[in-house]
Amino acid sequence: MITKKVNTIQEAIEGIESGMTIMFGGFGLCGIPENTIAALVAASVSDLTCISNNAGVDDFGLGLLLQKKQIKKMISSYVGENAEFERQMLSGELEVELTPQGTLAERCRAAQAGIPAFFTPAGYGTEVAEGKEVREFNGKMHIMEEAFKADFAIVKAWKGDEAGNLIFKGTARNFNACMAGAGKITIAEVEELVPVGTLDPNQIHIPGIMVQRIFQGEKFEKRIEQRTVRQRD
């Protein structure tokens, strides 16, 4: 039986170098590979192009890489919770490519499936369409979007086995599912790593063939990005 398990987080991120393009799963602070991000901060890699729905918050998630100015370019759909991101973008320190959320997800899924490009109506007639091929389908204009080309995809799962099979929990499935297998190498950070044969095959969301490295994280912090409470009557 092939095992994808690595013994340390340093083994998991081996080969990640400055200047690379990396996908990070998660939505807001839900389902982000926080241990791997912390390891990349410690490794001091720089000039990264990061593909992620958003950039975390100032002191957590990708915000930690932003603080150290290790990110050169962000490709995201939403960036509203990070003051440092805003500062770097407005000052010209950070290159930003904003993408409609559905397009972002489909560019990941296309890379996962080996599809080089696709047409979508999202963004037609806006800045998103600048420089892109336009075609009409069924009387509606569409723009061509290319699949992402990432060196690494880093995802977070609830459970995984040593063969790389993954199960996500609740909304933490988000971008993790479409990013797994969408990079040349996929690293899976899991909350619980179990032996092969432990997981119910009918419950597996991502098969191990899409994962090259898997490890169990040591520490997970369940943060609430925006706490909203109802006033008492």
CATH number for the domain that contains residue 48: 3.40.1080.10
State both tokens at 86. Answer: 């805003």
* Domain housing 62: 9-115+148-216
pLDDT, residue 225, reads 67
Residue 162 lies in a domain: yes
* pTM of the entire predicted model: 0.92
Query: What pLDDT is stored for residue 35 in this prediction?
Result: 96
Look at residues 67, 21, 73 and name the one whose alpha carbon lies nearest to residue 42: 67
pLDDT of residue 88: 93
Tens of pLDDT, residue by residue, the chain (233 residues): 789 999 999 999 999 999 999 999 999 889 999 999 999 999 999 999 999 999 988 889 999 999 999 999 999 998 877 889 989 999 999 999 999 999 999 999 999 999 999 999 999 999 999 999 999 999 999 999 999 999 999 999 999 999 999 999 999 999 999 999 999 999 999 999 999 999 999 999 999 999 999 999 987 877 666 677 888 77
The answer to whether position 95 is within a domain reads yes
Considering just the CA atoms, what is the radius of gyration of the chain in Å?
18
Max CA separation in the chain (angstroms): 60
pLDDT at 59: 85
Residue 132 lies in a domain: no
Count of the separate structural domains present in the chain = 1
In a domain, 56, yes or no: yes
> For residue 125, is it within any domain?
no
31 located within any domain:
yes
In sequence order, what DSSP letters do the residues of 154-207 get, joined into one string?
Answer: EEEEEEEETT--EE--GGGGHHHHHHTTSEEEEEEEEEEEE-TT-S-GGG-SB-
225 φ/ψ angles, rounded to the nearest 5 degrees: -65, -45
Q: Is residue 121 part of a domain?
A: no
Ranges of H-type helices in the chain: 9-12, 34-43, 62-67, 83-91, 101-113, 174-179
* Position 178 in a domain: yes
